[in-house]
């Protein structure tokens, strides 16, 4: 009996927040406890940490670098490179499957152009921007799991790589003049 009661309690706790799978991917701060405005019962909110927003707030990156990261992220999402897919509600009968749109092709060309400026996806800057800005991993997660060249990178060095890459992107998008340091 005690075992069944324990399992039920665990299932109740799991249903109140993100799944174990989502939690293992990180990016969540401490849960915020609050009262539901309608019922007054206690609720727990979790929020994902915006890496670029936190870096701008700390003064690590400039507004131009933040904007460059936002442009890259929007292009990355438009290109459908993030791996998140929704099944179309209306499918064309007799179609050859899911087709890529002209908008996605144009976005992929812009992402490829940005990656070329960063040295490609195999470069430190390209890999860091792809994972941290595009796929929205944390800098620490990229440094520990992905790293560069198959090796882990210290978190402070990884943050420096991201700052340098965002500076290059800001110049690429024309947000800062090439002669002026970002």
The pLDDT, as a whole number, for residue 48 is 61
Q: What is the rounded (10 degree) CA torsion for 171, 172, 175, 180?
A: 20
Pairwise pLDDT comparison (28 vs 148), residue with the higher score: 148
pLDDT at 145: 82
Distance of CA 45 to the CA centre of its chain: 20
Q: Answer yes or no: is pLDDT of 60 > 90.
A: yes
Could you tell me the pTM of the whole model?
Answer: 0.67
pLDDT of residue 43: 65
101 falls in which pLDDT band (50, 70, 90)? confident
- For residue 150, how many other CB atoms are within 10 A of its CB? 6
pLDDT of 12 reads 43
Q: Nearest 5 degrees, angle CA 167-CA 172-CA 178?
A: 70
Local structure of residue 148 (DSSP, 8 states)? B
Per-residue confidence (pLDDT) for residue 75, from 0 to 100:
95
- Give residue limits of the domains in the chain: 51-83+90-172
Confidence check: pLDDT of 5 > 70:
no
Summarize pLDDT for 144-172 with one digit per residue, the tens.
Answer: 887 677 788 898 999 999 999 999 999 99
Residue 3: is its pLDDT beyond 60?
no
pLDDT at 46 over 80: no
**Helix, strand, coil % in the chain, rounded to nearest 5:** 50, 5, 40
- Pairwise pLDDT comparison (57 vs 36), residue with the higher score: 57
Lowest mean pLDDT among 3-17, 23-37, 100-114, 116-130: 3-17
Residue (of 38, 65, 37) closest to 51 by Cα position: 65
What Rg do the C-alpha atoms of the chain give, in angstroms?
21
Beta strands in 5-92 (DSSP E): 32-35, 42-45
Which range has the worst mean pLDDT, 30-34, 105-109, 129-133? 30-34
């Amino acid at each position: 009996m005690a075992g069944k009661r324990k399992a039920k309690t665990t299932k109740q706790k799991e249903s109140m927040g993100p799944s174990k799978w989502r939690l293992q991917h990180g990016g969540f701060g401490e849960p915020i406890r609050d009262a539901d405005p309608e019922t007054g019962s206690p609720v727990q909110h979790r929020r994902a940490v915006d890496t670029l927003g936190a870096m701008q707030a700390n003064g690590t990156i400039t507004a131009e670098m933040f904007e460059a990261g936002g442009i890259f992220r929007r292009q990355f999402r438009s290109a459908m490179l993030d791996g998140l897919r929704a099944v179309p509600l209306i499918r064309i009968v007799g179609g050859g499957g899911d087709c890529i749109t002209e908008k996605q092709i144009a976005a992929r060309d812009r992402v490829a152009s940005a990656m070329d400026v960063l040295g490609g996806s195999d470069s430190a800057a390209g890999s860091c921007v792809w994972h941290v800005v595009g796929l929205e991993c944390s800098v620490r997660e990229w440094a520990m799991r992905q790293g560069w060249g198959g090796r882990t990178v210290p978190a402070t060095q990884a943050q420096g790589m991201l700052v340098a890459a965002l500076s290059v992107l800001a110049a690429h998008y024309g947000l800062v003049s090439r002669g002026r340091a970002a």
